[in-house]
Structure 1
């Protein structure tokens, strides 16, 4: 199979989804209103609620939701062959991810930009909200702790990525000042920012930063993890316009250009896909493709984490409600294109099947490093970019994706901690809630691993937890659509599918954790499963209530705790 065929067909499918299906969703299902006054305008505070240019906001949303997962998931899942991964990414982006991300942003926007956790209390039930927040907290804990490990590993294994990684923060701070304080022209700022980032990559390739084996008694990996958490904590406290928005925006442009370079290299070199379409000779110990494929590839097909970002930060920055189509759906398109590029790189970036099988000798052997090495080979063959610089570009791309997600993840986890505190009758300010987040995430990282890698301990539950959260978010959207008497099947069908595969995967993992006597993951699996099933039952009951009640129109509630059985929206 020629990789160019996969690229053309996959890109065409995903872009058609944006131009056609997202238009249908926006007009017929969510009915986006350009005259609606968004929460960004109603509650503008210069910190979290900031009306934002849709291109800048898209950059924030895209890079926040992408992270390393659309690289890691597909890079692992191709062990079952390229065809299942290709179909799930393309169809998932069009009919699952884009619809989910756009819907979560719309639902939050119509409810004062409140999080999906809070919305669950209104549309599903108070008990459902409490359980929902537990699932969200655990998911964010996994993301923040694990992505710190992914970034630190890349900074150590690819020292040429150190300068562009940290230099991007300085560039972002300057861009924030240029856009909001100096009111400079956005296209000019964008061009200068992208040139600066790629200049940093060239500089990083010339001057790699290699840390000594131990620093202040910590290994190089552990040192980077501590620095990353301290940085993320500070970044989460700054106004979004100062660092978060400009960092994500300029990274989004750079990352999209990086994707363009990868696809251009594929078009020129047209490498052959050496991996089988369906791998009939998977390594011993590889789990069955169903349902594990659909939770291994989460980001890039559908991801519950996107709903947290869409409702946690992005909805607070929507200038116009109609911008949600570009920010939400096209953000999912960007991630789908990254996942598709990863599939092609990790199946066509090898000379022979034997080389591919050597890398994929066991399940979970693929990952970011497989993408960087194989993709670097394609860039070298297609565009003549030196191997070292190719690896620097792709490693920096992966690091910046993960870092921007971590920035947003710590801020979101702060919101969740504050909400949990309110439920318990404790009012936490942003400083205390941020310290709680850092204490918990770093406690997990170093409590379960002296090198800071403890965050990977609970990572095996990320895929199933993430997909369950997507199903629960879709349940909220479905209740809203039923109450409004709008088309619900575009939401209901993906909801049922994702709920089934996620619960099934959790049950399978229960057996695995029990047989390996992994009691921590077993207990967490049980907690997540109980929470999810409880919320699903309450969601079904809420949908039945909504069907029996007369149709309603939007009328925003003043109280987060509004009884979901009420007909008032």
Structure 2
């Protein structure tokens, strides 16, 4: 089958989602009001709360939520076959992810820019707040700890990407200053920044940078992780206009160029699909496609982490409430487009010329990931555009690193917000201070990274198996909060309730499956954490049901 047909199907579906479905939801369900005074204007402090051009904010939101997940998840899930992966990405983007992200932005915007954890108290009750915030903190801890490892490993395996990855930070700082001081137009300056970024990618192909094998007794992986978290700590304390916004915006633009290169390469080379539509030759230890498909592909279909970003940083920068549709829903469409091209890349002849060769590459579940994407994508760009394979690999590796880096930047900032919120909730003065909260956030990640006695700093990978189900349970709880809000406002609730029930069911079943796997393997710590998340979810649901019943009873009386 030609991969072009998959591309056409996916893009037409996502276009329907943006032009038709999202407009209906924004107008008739969320009723986005251009006259509503957003928290960015109400609490403008020039640091965290800052009214932002919707294009810039889209870049921040998109690159913060994307990370490496819309590449890794689809590139692994295609093991079950490309058809179920494509269907979940396309329909998940249209009816789940866009709705979830736009809804989280709207809900936070209507509650003074509160995070989903703090928002749970306003919508459901005090007891829910702490339960919700624990799950949010766990998800952030997993994301930050693991993405540090992902970036460090990418620096080691692709040293050509080190120079452009760090050069992007310098470029972003310069752009931030120019825009803030009103020197030049945003689009013009950003386009120049992207050109400089691509020049650095070309230069990086000939300037590989590698750390020494031993720095103060630490291997290169550990040294990179320490450097990355030191950078993330500083970045999380800077005003959003200085680094976060310009870096995310140029990353969004360079991803747009990357998508054009990949999609254009498909149109020019017309590659066939070598992977099976449904894989009937799976290994004996392969997990069941239901429910695991729906937690393996999270970002690119629907992801609870998006709700954290939407309510944690993006809602504090929303200039006008209708921008929530552009930033939230279109951000989800962009991520869905990345997930779709990832599926085509790792399923086509760019990676494996025959079905048998594809089976050799994907011999077991869990294989593939970013390595398959970079290899297949580089071959695809070379065949479609004639770009040398070495430069194509550097380009794609840099794209993955920059995405993971922006997610890590926002993740540490969001961890700081949660710690500061705990300080306000329990009136603990020292927890309210930015620097101390940041040190606690970074310290918790490093404790996970090095606390398991792993000198490479890769300890965060230990809790990663919990991410899929925990992240999707968080997405279901976010949709639950949005549904309760809509019910209290007397608005249609079915559009959020149906996705919530579906995601909750699949994520809950996945968490149960994973729990018994942990027990069988003797991973009692992971089993205990999984059980805590399951119990927390049950309590949030029960509290929500109680709130709804009380509301309905009061309305009848």
TM-score, normalisation: structure 1: 0.96
| Secondary structure of residue in 2 paired with 1:232 | helix
**Residue of structure 2 in register with 1:30 after alignment:** 30
1:386 aligns with 2:388: yes
**Residue of structure 2 in register with 1:559 after alignment:** none
| Secondary structure of residue in 1 paired with 2:555 | coil
Match among 428, 435, 440 for residue 436 of structure 1? 440
Contact preservation (8 Å) 1:482, 1:547: no
1:511 aligns with 2:516: yes
Bigger mean CA offset, 465-474 vs 540-549 = 540-549
Contact preservation (8 Å) 1:479, 1:546: no
1:172 aligns with 2:172: yes
Q: CA RMSD in A?
A: 1.2
- Residue pairs, 1:81-230, within 5 angstroms: 81-230=81-230
| Secondary structure of residue in 2 paired with 1:218 | coil
Distance in 1, Cα, partners of 2:423 & 2:284: 46
**Residue of structure 2 in register with 1:410 after alignment:** 412
- Residue pairs, 1:13-52, within 5 angstroms: 13-52=13-52
Distance in 2, Cα, partners of 1:158 & 1:407: 21
Distance in 2, Cα, partners of 1:542 & 1:478: 12
**Residue of structure 2 in register with 1:80 after alignment:** 80
Contact preservation (8 Å) 1:478, 1:543: no
**Residue of structure 1 in register with 2:66 after alignment:** 66
1:389-442 CA deviation, whole Å, 9 max, x = no partner?
Answer: 111111111111100000000000111112223334312101111111111100
1:476 aligns with 2:478: no
Bigger mean CA offset, 32-41 vs 205-214 = 205-214
- Residue pairs, 1:253-264, within 5 angstroms: 253-264=253-264
1:504-530 CA deviation, whole Å, 9 max, x = no partner?
Answer: 111111110000001111111111111
1:373 aligns with 2:375: yes
Q: Using the TM superposition, give the Cα deviation of residue 283 of structure 1 relative to its aligned residue in structure 2, in angstroms.
A: 1.7
1:58-89 CA deviation, whole Å, 9 max, x = no partner?
Answer: 00000000011111110110000000000000
**Residue of structure 2 in register with 1:562 after alignment:** none
Match among 491, 496, 499 for residue 491 of structure 1? 496
Distance in 2, Cα, partners of 1:22 & 1:201: 36
Q: Using the TM superposition, give the Cα deviation of residue 370 of structure 1 relative to its aligned residue in structure 2, in angstroms.
A: 1.0
1:97-123 CA deviation, whole Å, 9 max, x = no partner?
Answer: 000000000000011011110010111
Distance in 1, Cα, partners of 2:333 & 2:186: 23
Distance in 1, Cα, partners of 2:555 & 2:257: 49
**Residue of structure 2 in register with 1:397 after alignment:** 399
1:527 aligns with 2:532: yes
- Residue pairs, 1:343-362, within 5 angstroms: 343-348=343-348, 349=350, 350-362=352-364
**Residue of structure 2 in register with 1:560 after alignment:** none
Distance in 1, Cα, partners of 2:152 & 2:548: 44
1:522-556 CA deviation, whole Å, 9 max, x = no partner?
Answer: 111111111111111111222233333339xxxxx
1:216-235 CA deviation, whole Å, 9 max, x = no partner?
Answer: 32111111111100000000
Contact preservation (8 Å) 1:103, 1:477: yes
1:290 aligns with 2:290: yes
Gaps spanning 5+ residues in structure 1: where?
552-566
Gaps spanning 5+ residues in structure 2: where?
none
Contact preservation (8 Å) 1:139, 1:462: yes
Bigger mean CA offset, 45-54 vs 539-548 = 539-548
Match among 444, 451, 463 for residue 447 of structure 1? 451
| Secondary structure of residue in 1 paired with 2:205 | helix
Q: Using the TM superposition, give the Cα deviation of residue 212 of structure 1 relative to its aligned residue in structure 2, in angstroms.
A: 2.6
Distance in 1, Cα, partners of 2:365 & 2:320: 45
**Residue of structure 2 in register with 1:457 after alignment:** 462
Distance in 2, Cα, partners of 1:359 & 1:540: 47
**Residue of structure 1 in register with 2:3 after alignment:** 3
Distance in 2, Cα, partners of 1:361 & 1:218: 34
Give the aligned length: 552
Distance in 2, Cα, partners of 1:207 & 1:282: 41
1:550 aligns with 2:552: no
Distance in 2, Cα, partners of 1:458 & 1:520: 9
Distance in 2, Cα, partners of 1:417 & 1:317: 20
Contact preservation (8 Å) 1:41, 1:319: yes
Bigger mean CA offset, 56-65 vs 532-541 = 532-541
Distance in 1, Cα, partners of 2:241 & 2:149: 27
Distance in 2, Cα, partners of 1:89 & 1:67: 16
1:332 aligns with 2:337: no
Distance in 2, Cα, partners of 1:65 & 1:109: 18
1:13-44 CA deviation, whole Å, 9 max, x = no partner?
Answer: 11210111000011000000111111111110
Q: Using the TM superposition, give the Cα deviation of residue 270 of structure 1 relative to its aligned residue in structure 2, in angstroms.
A: 1.4
Bigger mean CA offset, 385-394 vs 345-354 = 345-354
Contact preservation (8 Å) 1:376, 1:387: yes
